[in-house]
Amino acid sequence: MARFLSSAGFFPVRYSIATFQFDVTPPPGHSLCGGWIPAVTAVDDPLSARGVVISGGVKPIVLCAVDWTGICNSAHYAWRKCLADAAGTTAQYVAVQCVHQHDAPFVCLEAEEIINAEGDLPHNVDIEFFDTCLKRAAEVVRESLKSSQPLTHIAASRALVDQVASNRRILGSDGRVKTNRSVSPNSDDVRDLPTGLIDPWLRTIGFYNGADKVAAFYYYAVHPISYCCQQGRVSSDFVGLARRLKEEHDSPGCLQVYFTGCAGNLNAGKYSNSGEHKYRRVLAERLYAAMEKTSARLKPEPITSLRWKTENLIPPARDIFSIESLQKQISDKTKRVVHRNRPAFTLAWLKRLQKKDPQPIVLSGLHINNLSIIHLPAEPFVEFQLRTQVLHQDRFVAVAGYGDGGPWYIPTAEAYAQGGYEINVAFSNPKIDSLLMQGIEKLFA
């Protein structure tokens, strides 16, 4: 049990918290979104990785959100291992979730090897930049532990977000996807259609040292894209701008961390698809308004219980993919870059599963008092978030997606028959639905 100094002198506290953040903005010329959009030409606003180390349980726990599109396979494990070593814990006690902005790096070390072997494709990651980020992460986390504070109270609240998220899969009368609601211009034909299935709530969790709020975590399910992929201009997009507004107006010294929920089939297309850049600010202000509402509703309570639970998952690949056909597509110099780089991510996933002892995906849950934070991989459909909350209505449940990006999209079983873009780039077969739900349920056991 740690001892901390207060105005009353030294006193025992079971849990402590250290906050950290560091820059992960890619340099000029670095690939964005896997290499199939323009590379970095400028930085509209920087990207960061930020999170906390919670100590006092069985082992220190690290929760981290990264302003990147995705981190896949061994790159994701490297992040977890790096943070674990710096915090004095193991990778099993670390959750690394991407926020999933698109004008940002999309990193897969195995795909980079495949791409690099072709000799004519843009990289998906500069290895030197990747290693620099991990070195910076280790230094910052180790330094943060020197300023650990008591973690005595927790609070949670939620608020409706007005006119941000919409379901992007528009079904026709035959039950199949007719069109995908885009955030790009020329999509006025679907703007007036209903919002569709979403989770309209922003959920906020506050971590406290007595009356002082040390960190605030926000969870909302939407693709964090207002406009993107046009000029190589790096941005944390509207969720990053909302986070910055909260930094300017919340308690001094409180770390603001945003997590994207299960947003594989959600975007802001109903409210931003005119292509006008002004909507980035509009969406940011709408999200910020919900952040303000939840902050006002936070009521800290003493921490009486804290536990961490993990479950391993190895979802099976779809039989429509083969190593031979994917390699042929990657090597076909007549195809566009996007149709060669993307299959490299699929091939990386298949090769991962073919190993004798494949590295499993790790699901994790942090349970404090009557609230639970669930960390899921890749791009899950919103249904997984809604199901989890329905199954555990007795608890305050916040869900973060975009952990290990290896399998890309995670649709529901019924969505496979509906078709659509997300199904085309889902690397696992429909069994992943039941396997993921079984894993989630074990996190609550």
Residue 8 pLDDT > 90, yes or no? no
8 Å CB contact between 158 and 219: no
Tokens (6 digits) for 268 = 């802001």
Q: What is the pLDDT of residue 87?
A: 98
Instruction: Give residue 230's pLDDT band: very low, low, confident or very high (50, 70, 90).
Output: confident
pLDDT single digits (tens) 35-66: 989 999 999 999 999 999 999 999 999 999 99
Cβ-proximal residues to 194 (8 Å cutoff; 6+ apart), any chain: none
Instruction: Write down the H helix ranges in 158-277.
Output: 188-191, 237-249, 269-272
- In tens, the pLDDT along 142-168 reads 999 999 999 999 999 999 999 999 999
90 pLDDT above the threshold of 70: yes
**What is the rounded average pLDDT for all residues in the chain?**
94
- Tell me the C-alpha distance between 343 and 326, whole Å: 6
Locate tokens 């930049």: which residue?
A: 129
Rounded to an integer, what distance in angstroms lies between the CA atom of residue 342 and that of residue 158?
37
The whole-number pLDDT of residue 191 equals 84
3-state secondary structure of 104: coil
Q: State the pLDDT at residue 183.
A: 83
Task: Please compute the mean of the pLDDT values over residues 359-380 and round it to a whole number.
Answer: 98
Please report where in the chains the tokens 């072709």 appear, as a residue.
118
The residues that bridge with 213 in the sheet, in sequence order, are: 208
Weakest-pLDDT range from 43-52, 98-107, 229-238, 273-282: 273-282
17-27: average pLDDT? 98
* Cα 61 from Cα 52, distance rounded (Å): 8
Q: Locate 366 and state its tokens.
A: 């942090």
The more confident residue out of 191 and 365 is 365
Condensed to tens digits (0 to 9), the pLDDT of residues 266-292 reads 999 999 877 788 899 999 999 999 999
pLDDT at 276: 80
Residue environment code for 4-37, b if the CB has 16+ CB neighbours within 10 A, otherwise e: eeeeeeeeebebbbbbbbbebbbeeebbbbbbbb
Closest CA to 209 of 155, 145, 141: 155
Nearest residue to 85 (alpha-carbon basis) of 38, 131, 26, 134? 134
Residue spans of alpha helices (H) in 41-126? 73-87, 109-118
Q: Is the pLDDT of residue 4 over 70?
A: no
Confidence of residue 110 (pLDDT cuts 50, 70, 90): very high
Q: Find the mean pLDDT for residues 311-318.
A: 96
Domain chopping of the chain, boundaries: 13-307+362-404
What's the whole-number mean pLDDT along residues 113-139?
Answer: 96
pLDDT at 188: 63
Give residue 7's pLDDT band: very low, low, confident or very high (50, 70, 90). Answer: very low
- pLDDT of the residue at 228: 87
Tokens of 372: 């639970």
List the one residue out of 235, 187, 186, 179 whose CA is nearest residue 33: 235
Q: Is the pLDDT of residue 186 over 70?
A: no
Closest by CA to 153, choosing from 204, 208, 206, 205, is 208
Q: What pTM does this model have?
A: 0.95
**CA 19 to CA 104: how far, in whole Å?**
23
> Which residues are CB-contacts of 101 (< 8 A; sequence separation ≥ 6)?
47, 67, 68, 69, 224, 225, 228, 235, 236, 237, 239, 240
How far is 84 from 79, CA to CA, in rounded Å?
8
**More confident site: 9 or 224:** 224
Among all chains, which residue has been given the structure tokens 């009557």?
Answer: 370
Full DSSP string of 106-173: EEEHHHHHHHHHHSSS--S--HHHHHHHHHHHHHHHHHHGGG-EE--EEEEEEEEPPS--EE-EEE-T
